Amino acid sequence: MSALTATRWVRWPEAHTLADGTESLPAGAARIGYGADYNPEQWPEEVWADDMRLMREAGVNIVSVGIFSWALLQPTIDSWDFGWLDRAIDLLHANGIAVDLATATASPPPWLTELHPEVLPVNRLGETIWPGGRQQWRPTSPVFRRYALALVEKMAMRYADHPALSMWHISNELGCHNVYDYSDDAAGAFRDWLQARYGSLVELNRAWGTAFWSQNYTTWHQILPPRLAATHPNPTQQLDFARFSSDALKDYLIAEREILRQVTPEVPITTNFMVMGETRGMDYADWAAEVDVVSNDHYLLVADPQAFEELSFSANLTGQIAGRAPWFLMEHSTSAVNWQPVNQAKTPGQLRRDSLTHLAHGADAICFFQWRQSLAGAEKFHSAMLPHAGEDSTVFRNVAGFGRELAALAEVAGSRTQQARIGILFDWDSWWASELDSHPTELLRYKAEAMAWYTAALANGLQADIVPARSVLAGHGLAGYDLVIAPMLYLVPQALADALTDYARTGGHLVVGVFSGIADADDHIHPGGYPGAFRELLGVRAEEFGGLLAGQTVRLTGELPAGSTGSLLTHDVTVQPDVEVLARFDDGPFPGVPAITSRMLPSLAGAAGRASFVATVLDPAALAALVGRFAAQAGIQSLLPEEVHGTVQLAVRQGDTQDYLFYINHSARAVTVALRPADGRLSALDLGGSTLAADTLTLPATGVAVLGRARTDL
């Protein structure tokens, strides 16, 4: 189990007699969490009874309560009103619904920001972020912390012994809107962080390269967050500010957690991450060890042609961060969201498909934002489990139907996701550093590169794991992977270069993507030619970058599909004599130069390793062909027949006695999967409209089938 692993799970309430005289499930019974954010404070109490009836009809067994209720719980600086929350939690308990109780600190009340405007965040132009929305607080404000922690303590003391309390939900989506704060509080905390990192100004000046542009600092006080500057701010200052900002919020998370742990040590703690989506400010691979249960929020981006692949990527990465142990899907949507430029209802079957895709990747709870769709406020057009239209609606029927289905899948709970044989490295430092300004191109995007490789694996019918580089640095990341891909791993500390080199020299196949191995941990270039950190291993050397304009492509020739192209960036690669050239640039800045290389390595441990380099951004078909080639070379075979590659994803969870195979049709047409004897004896666990015959599985459009197979390794 990885050191990143969260070690506990929801503490389900003990069995008790419910309001209608029936018995609730005992605490130890297997179940998958199902529910939503529940905001009873938005509704008259008469509505609550209806909420309970419909929650029970839908199979809801857990809800998150109190997330944005600070202003009602503490209406003035010295008055408290917990009555309504007591009643809501009691009612939930009487209906057998567990409570993931928020600390309620997500958004400060107006009296607090009126009394203490110094808690408000400041943007890089020095402008105040005013109240009126939410999350208007500085992560480093000691004043905010004082008030927020007082509330956390009040909540912990009041509900410590409530039998419905199953998990603490710290704040909400920490950093969603306020991760980057450039205020004076942030400046002071940034200086402290830098002192702890560098110890001396001499060391800081070295790391930041301040000999450049007359930036040498002579007192700590001169150092500022990277506020609006006349031109490109110092890159290492920007990178350190990104690292600091993630750490500052993590520190805040820990401050709330410590209070909760003191008062209720037996209650697990979570906070909802936003792995991928539109956020990148929080290094969740670093945060995961601080919570008991890893939770994630995920929203499909409708304008993204690869929205399904992005969902699958996010779910997989969340599972890896959780050490492949179960994690909690805290929020996704039943249908449309309200915050994208254009929002769309989910197509039939999509709620089920998206939910089961998360489940396939290890989620043991499937929850939504929110239970009852609001009539007022900024999210009134956001879908919910119970829509404006009421219970007589397609959404509610889908929600209730899916709740029954999840209850039937209870045995899947607790199983772990199967490790894939392909690992794709993912690293927040490289994400932040590679996208800084003043680079060879502004057009390369870290997430797009990582996603492209993941999509290429799926296009070959293969599952890949998204492996945090942090777990490689911690020494337990690469065992079991036969092919490891490093997309745009721009920032490579020596220890990471060593770990990846060892991996390739002891029989693994390492593939290094474009714009990788360029800089060290301080964002200083690895000198001697690109890609510096991997130059020796790969047996390649480049002296220049050839950036390509938006829409411009270069032709590639070699062992690739006809018409293959590269885009965005090229390198002028030369190779050592023992390096095989798989493809060359045909035109563009470096015609005739190697574009894809591969080198067999003399092995120190018997099996021959391999190190390959891709010196441009390949078009999707070329990338899929290359991944197919490398996978075959590493002996990795798809468990799916070729005709459904790129249409059906197969993800596997491993229980004690059974494997659970999730066949996910992410296309809009029905498909038939030919099953093979090698797949073992499959039994239907949840077909949801699919047909399982002796040697075929037919999935409707967006259909998912969950099949069981006895573990052969027992």
Q: What is the DSSP string of 23-85?
A: BPPPTTS---EEEEEE-GGGS-HHHHHHHHHHHHHHT--EEEE-TT-HHHHSSBTTB---HHH
- Choose between 80 and 381: whose C-beta lies nearer to ligand GLA: 381
* Closest approach of ligand GLA to the CB of residue 173, in Å: 4
H helices of 95-170, where? 110-115, 142-159
Beta bridge partners of 440: none
Interaction residues for ligand GLA, span 422-451 (CB under 6 A): none
What distance lies between CA 659 and its chain's CA centroid?
A: 25
Overall size of the chain counted in residues: 714
Is 223 or 294 the residue whose CB approaches ligand GLA more closely? 294
Is 135 or 665 the residue whose CB approaches ligand GLA more closely? Answer: 135
Give whichever of 133 and 620 is closer to ligand GLA, judged by the CB atom.
133
331 binds ligand GLA (CB under 6 A): yes
Cβ-contact 336, 347 below 8 angstroms: no
Cβ atoms of 612 and 512 within 8 Å: the answer is yes
Closest CB 184 distance from ligand GLA, rounded Å = 28
Contact flag: residue 337 with ligand GLA (CB under 6 A): yes
Q: Which of 172, 565, 616, 690 binds ligand GLA (CB under 6 A)?
A: 172
- Number of residues in contact with ligand GLA, rule: CB under 6 A? 10
Q: Which is nearer to ligand GLA, 162 or 280 (CB)?
A: 280
CB of 338 to ligand GLA, least distance (A): 7
Q: Quick one: 260 or 367, whose CB is closer to ligand GLA?
A: 367
Query: Who contacts 263 (Cβ-Cβ below 8 Å, separation ≥6)?
Result: 153, 156, 157, 160
Cα separations (Å) of 282 from 228, 277, 657?
22, 12, 37
Q: Binding mask 284-303 vs ligand GLA (x if CB under 6 A, - otherwise)?
A: -------------x-x----
| Residue 653 within binding range of ligand GLA, rule CB under 6 A | no
Q: For this structure, is 331 an active site residue?
A: yes
* Least distance from ligand GLA to the Cβ atom of residue 167, Å: 16
CA distance 99 to 38: 10
CB of 472 to ligand GLA, least distance (A): 30
- Catalytic entry in 256, 310, 331, 405: 331
- Helix boundaries (H) for 160-216: 184-198, 201-208
Q: Which of 159, 135, 167 is nearest to 148 (CA)?
A: 135
CB nearer ligand GLA, residue 335 or residue 565: 335
Residue 530 as a binder of ligand GLA (CB under 6 A): the answer is no
Given the residues 173, 256, 309, 310, select the one marked as catalytic. 173
Buried b (16+ CB within 10 A) or exposed e, 112-121: bbeebeebbb
What's the token pair of residue 149?
């922690």
Q: Is 411 a catalytic residue?
A: no
Site membership for ligand GLA, residue 173 (CB under 6 A): yes
Q: Pick from 162, 382, 439, 541: which binds ligand GLA (CB under 6 A)? A: 382
When binding is defined by CB under 6 A, the residue of 379, 411, 435, 586 that contacts ligand GLA is 379
User: DSSP per residue over 532-552, as a string?
Assistant: GGGHHHHTEEEEEEEE--TT-
Residue 331: strand pairing partners: 297
The region of 186-194, 331-339, 393-401, 479-487 touching ligand GLA under the rule CB under 6 A is 331-339
Please report whether residue 554 would count as binding ligand GLA according to CB under 6 A: no
Please report, as ranges, the residues that interact with ligand GLA according to CB under 6 A. Answer: 172-173, 297, 299, 331, 337, 339, 369, 379, 382
Q: Which residues are catalytic?
A: 173, 331
